[in-house]
Amino acid sequence: MTKRRIATSGAPAALGPYSQAIDTGGQVYCSGQVGLDPETGELVAGGVKAEAHRALRNLGAVLDAAGVSYVDVVKTTVFLIDIGDFATFNAVYADFFPDPPPARSTFAVAALPKGARVEIEAIAVRSDV
């Protein structure tokens, strides 16, 4: 199996010893993205809605750097600090993924990096392989 690191300045740099994504040729495994502004490295203001929008834009930049897009995503995992933000997150999420949306798991967690309220990771499958 071939593994290629995906990195883009369109999303925040990894906060630790991990890659923004790994491309195996047929699949792209994206690390979790939070609502950090890639230019400043700071969390965007505006609560979970703004953070979700920024996190999904960051994810889109990583997908693009790998040569795939939201339409190629088959599975996402979402982490929320407050499960009460589920409906607000869903409203933002629905604007990014075409029909049929990917399979998804959503978890409430105690804390996320940098004090984020939401994090999203994804797996994409290349349609041309």
Q: Where are the domains of the chain?
A: 4-125
What's the pTM?
Answer: 0.96
Q: Could you tell me the pLDDT band of residue 129, with boundaries at 50, 70 and 90?
A: low
pLDDT of residue 1: 80
- Say how many CA atoms lie within 13 Å of 125 toward its Cβ: 7
Task: Tell me the pLDDT tens digit for each residue of 43-84.
Answer: 999 999 999 999 999 999 999 999 999 999 999 999 999 999
What is the mean pLDDT of the segment spanning 94-101? 95
The length of the chain in residues reads 129
**pLDDT tens-digit readout, 15-47:** 889 999 999 999 999 999 999 999 999 999 999
Task: Tell me the CATH class for 4-125.
Answer: alpha beta
Name residue 58's amino acid: N
